[in-house]
Amino acid sequence: MELSTIIGIVVCFAGVLGGFILEGGALGYLVKVPAFMIVIIGTIGAGITSHPLIDTISVPKVLKNTLFRNVRNPHEVIAMFVQFAEKVRREGLLVLEEDVSALRDDFLRSGLQLVIDGNDTELVRDIMNTEVAYLESRHERGAKYFKNLGGFAPTFGIIGTVMSMVQVLAGLGASIDPASLGHGISGAFIATLYGVVSANALFLPLASKLELLSSEEALMREIMIEGVLSIQAGDNPRIVKEKLNAFLPPPLRLQDE
């Protein structure tokens, strides 16, 4: 589970609310249903408008990706390819048939199956690279959705504030109560607060997390591609490990046991 997503969101809101309380504010001041409707519902509506409906329907799945990591451990992947290389050098490519059929990763299984079936190296590379490009495209759409929400939210906050200020100013009169005037003005700025906080504590950080997870998964796919092509080339197991370790920074590389 990706605890940093939950911890980060909680810390953001705790910092904002804690600072407000320390300044002498009461949480009740921040509860404004009309402001919530204008900002949050308006932002969601703008998101639906700016994307195909399938992107909005996919939002729960995209959010799940920020909470649960699907990226495999690179050490496990590299060790697996080293083991495959040892088997292939001893008994040939066909020995991997049973291992490949047991793999749960569709990308890896299809790549190795292409090699076992005797396909050309460039064809295998092209097919696997195309899959990676499509994966990155799908992930980019999910991140862009939340980026757009982060851009819309502050604007709807301003809209909500302007609407509230119009009501306050329309009610001005000779016998206006200064206390009620101050309360109305402070309430008007709640919408702006909702917009800015939701954008910077929720939507934009989620977009950044999705981009980071996408880059990590793309890197794992690149490691798999290189591993598959190394198996096809019949590389020595040690060479396979060195090739795949090169994708990782030195402290994270698989070491000799």
Q: What integer pLDDT is reported at residue 178 of this predicted model?
A: 63
> In a 3-state reduction of DSSP, which class is residue 76?
helix
Rounded to whole angstroms, what are the CA distances from 28 to 21, 76, 188, 200?
11, 51, 14, 22
Distance in angstroms (rounded) separating the CA atoms of residues 23 and 168: 25
State yes or no: pLDDT of 175 exceeds 70: no
Q: What integer pLDDT is reported at residue 252 of this predicted model?
A: 82
> In a 3-state reduction of DSSP, which class is residue 24?
coil
Q: What integer pLDDT is reported at residue 253 of this predicted model?
A: 86
More confident: 213 or 1: 213
State yes or no: pLDDT of 42 exceeds 90: yes
Mean pLDDT of 43-59: 95
Q: pLDDT tens, 237-248?
A: 999 999 999 999
Distance in angstroms (rounded) separating the CA atoms of residues 43 and 91: 60
Q: pLDDT tens, 124-171?
A: 999 999 999 999 999 999 999 999 999 999 999 999 999 888 887 777
Q: What integer pLDDT is reported at residue 168 of this predicted model?
A: 79
Mean pLDDT of 197-210: 95
Range 5-9, long-range pairs (CB < 8 A, 24+ positions): 5/66, 5/67, 5/206, 5/209, 6/67, 8/205, 9/201, 9/202, 9/205
Q: What is the average pLDDT score of the chain?
A: 89
Best CA proximity match to 229, nearest among 123, 99, 134: 123
Domain spans of the chain? 3-73+124-252
Best CA proximity match to 198, nearest among 160, 141, 167, 142: 160
Mean pLDDT of 32-61: 94
- pLDDT-derived band at 1 (thresholds 50, 70, 90) equals confident
Q: What integer pLDDT is reported at residue 36 of this predicted model?
A: 92
Query: Do residues 247 and 226 lie in contact, with contact meaning Cβ atoms separated by under 8 Å?
Result: yes
Q: What integer pLDDT is reported at residue 28 of this predicted model?
A: 83
Tell me the pTM: 0.85
* Phi-psi sector, 167: left (phi>0), alpha (psi -120 to 50), beta: alpha
Q: pLDDT tens, 64-114?
A: 988 887 777 888 999 999 999 999 988 888 889 988 988 988 999 999 999
Distance in angstroms (rounded) separating the CA atoms of residues 223 and 53: 34
Best CA proximity match to 225, nearest among 83, 130, 95: 130
Q: What integer pLDDT is reported at residue 180 of this predicted model?
A: 66
Tokens at 237, concatenated: 């197991």
- pLDDT-derived band at 24 (thresholds 50, 70, 90) equals confident
Query: Do residues 220 and 77 lie in contact, with contact meaning Cβ atoms separated by under 8 Å?
Result: yes
Distance in angstroms (rounded) separating the CA atoms of residues 19 and 156: 24
State yes or no: pLDDT of 183 exceeds 80: no
More confident: 120 or 168: 120
State yes or no: pLDDT of 179 exceeds 70: no
